[in-house]
């Protein structure tokens, strides 16, 4: 079963995350690879006590210009290795990563 991955990343690290995704085998659709979709927006968060934020300060609301990156995860991609590679490229301590099952076209 194919999956759909959505991740939010600061603009400064978006290209590194796209490279990590493609290198892990995501974004392959038919005879194409490195396929992704991105849109920009504002991410908001407040680091709590015990956090070690890459951006912002503990206890203060932070707003960051981020990119939402979406890719298809083809069958056979090792999800554990994929997540490890993405987390290595992503600067956040707790990145927002969503992996959703895809319904196959009839």
Q: What are the CA-CA distances from residue 90 to residues 1, 66, 100, 101 (Å)?
A: 26, 12, 20, 23
Number of domains in the chain: 1
Residue 91 lies in a domain: yes
Residue 66 lies in a domain: yes
Distance CA 70, CA 75 (A): 16
Residue 56 lies in a domain: yes
Distance CA 7, CA 39 (A): 11
How far, in whole angstroms, is CA 22 from its chain's centroid? 12
- Please state the pTM of the whole predicted model: 0.91
What's the pLDDT tens digit per position in 27-62?
999 999 999 999 999 999 999 999 999 999 999 999
Domain that holds residue 7: 3-101
Distance CA 61, CA 16 (A): 26
What's the pLDDT tens digit per position in 87-99?
999 999 999 999 9
Residue 47 lies in a domain: yes
Q: Is the dihedral of CA 20, 23, 26, 32 positive or negative?
A: positive
Residue 29 lies in a domain: yes
- Domain CATH number, residue 27: 3.30.70.120
Residue 12 lies in a domain: yes
Q: Give the percent of the chain with pLDDT over 90.
A: 94
DSSP 8-state assignment for residue 87 = H
Residue 106 lies in a domain: no
């Amino acid at each position: 079963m194919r999956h759909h991955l959505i991740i939010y990343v600061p603009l400064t690290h978006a290209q590194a995350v796209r490279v990590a995704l493609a290198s892990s085998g995501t974004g392959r659709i038919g005879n194409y690879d490195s396929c992704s979709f991105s849109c920009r927006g504002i991410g908001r968060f407040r680091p709590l006590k015990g956090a070690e934020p890459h951006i912002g300060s503990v206890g203060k609301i932070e707003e960051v210009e981020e990119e939402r990156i979406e890719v298809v995860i083809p069958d056979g991609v090792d999800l554990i290795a994929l997540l490890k590679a993405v987390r290595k490229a992503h600067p956040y301590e707790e990145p927002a990563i969503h992996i959703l099952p895809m319904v196959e076209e009839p």
